[in-house]
Amino acid sequence: MPSNSSFIDKSETSFHRIRSVLTEVVRVLESTKVQEIELAEQVKTILSENFSSGDGDEDEAKTPPPLPPRPQLPPPLPPRLPLPPPVPPKTKTLSPGPSPTFKTVKDFGVTGRGEGRGEGKILSPGPSPISQSIKTMEDFRIVKVLGKGSFSKVVMGKEKTTGEILAMKILRKDKFAHALAENKILQKTSHPFLVSLKYSFQTPDWLCLVTEYVRGGDLEFHLSRVGVFPEYLTRFYGAEIILGIQCLHSIGVVHRDMKLENLMLDEKGHIKIIDFGHCKEGMYFRHTTRTFCGVPEYMAPEMLGEKYGREVDWWQVGVAMYVMMSGKFPFYSPEGGAVLFDLIVRKK
């Protein structure tokens, strides 16, 4: 690497050379007789004489490095091929089908306005999905007794082939007409808030109705644990009870025994109306009967010795909802009997 003194000497030499070149150029420019071409030639000669040959210094003789080659542009893209013409959609000739069958309201399980005023359109129940297979008592194993009545008892049964738990209501044959009426009503109904019939069969002494087993217990049991139900829960249960009763009324059936013990809850907390033992068929609008039945605390005034229609079910639903919210009956007497009936009839 050259020292500082040699670098200074070279710089001075270059300076003196440049100064002499500029002086010569100025002299040429001052000559008025020099043409442009001659001027260019003279300047070129001066520059070549002063800078073409060096003094042996390697640094001064260096020529500037050549410029890098210009990068080549990428080849042009091939022209875009034209899109194929759109394919027309395939058309299919539809063959004419069968002539449409026009339905009526009855074809969709809806009743009309009824025989009198106040009757709206309500869903009519379809037939109960009762199994067509023939069952006997040997097909079930009795697990335990659930309840007893005056002429029947209800047991929990387990079907041996499927293991399904069911409720079995066993009725005495000497009450055969009463038992057949309940069986007939259960076979005619299929509603989410009515207990459904699975099988029915008879022995020499008994008629057996096998229904779904409702696991949630009855409302009387639940009310005894909490005292009263809140209003929102009473409205919820009341709405489902009303829908179930509307279903029965649409096929001319009056229940007549709407007490809390006959209002069960399924495993999801919805109402299931059970026990159709006091039901009566043929009770359409303005049809009446005189049969005395049911629990006194729930009886409508017209049931105490007068003719009555299916409106008595609504009275009993009202009593049930009153008990849910207050924990007591609207009409009650510890003496019962005639005193209680007098309170109901006089509406005191």
Can you tell me the distance from the alpha carbon of 323 to that of 329, in angstroms, rounded to the nearest whole number? Answer: 5
10 Å Cβ neighbour count for 328?
Answer: 11
Burial class (CB in 10 A: 0-12, 13-18, 19+), 140: buried
The secondary structure of residue 194, as a DSSP letter, is: B
DSSP string, 282-315: ---TT--B----S-GGG--GGGTTS-B-TTHHHH
Can you tell me the distance from the alpha carbon of 241 to that of 193, in angstroms, rounded to the nearest whole number? Answer: 7
Furthest CA-CA distance within the chain: 157
- Contact in structure between 224 and 195 (CB atoms under 8 Å): no
Place of tokens 């073409």: 52
Place of tokens 């129940």: 125
Catalytic positions, please?
Answer: 257
Residues annotated as binding site for ATP?
Answer: 169
User: What are the tokens at 261?
Assistant: 């013990």
262-300 b/e with 16+ CB inside 10 Å = b? bbbbbeeeebbbbbbbbbbeebbbeeebeeeebbbbbbb
**β-pair partners for 308:** 289
User: What are the tokens at 346?
Assistant: 């006089």
E strand segments, the chain: 140-148, 152-159, 165-172, 197-202, 206-212, 263-265, 271-273
Burial class (CB in 10 A: 0-12, 13-18, 19+), 172: middle
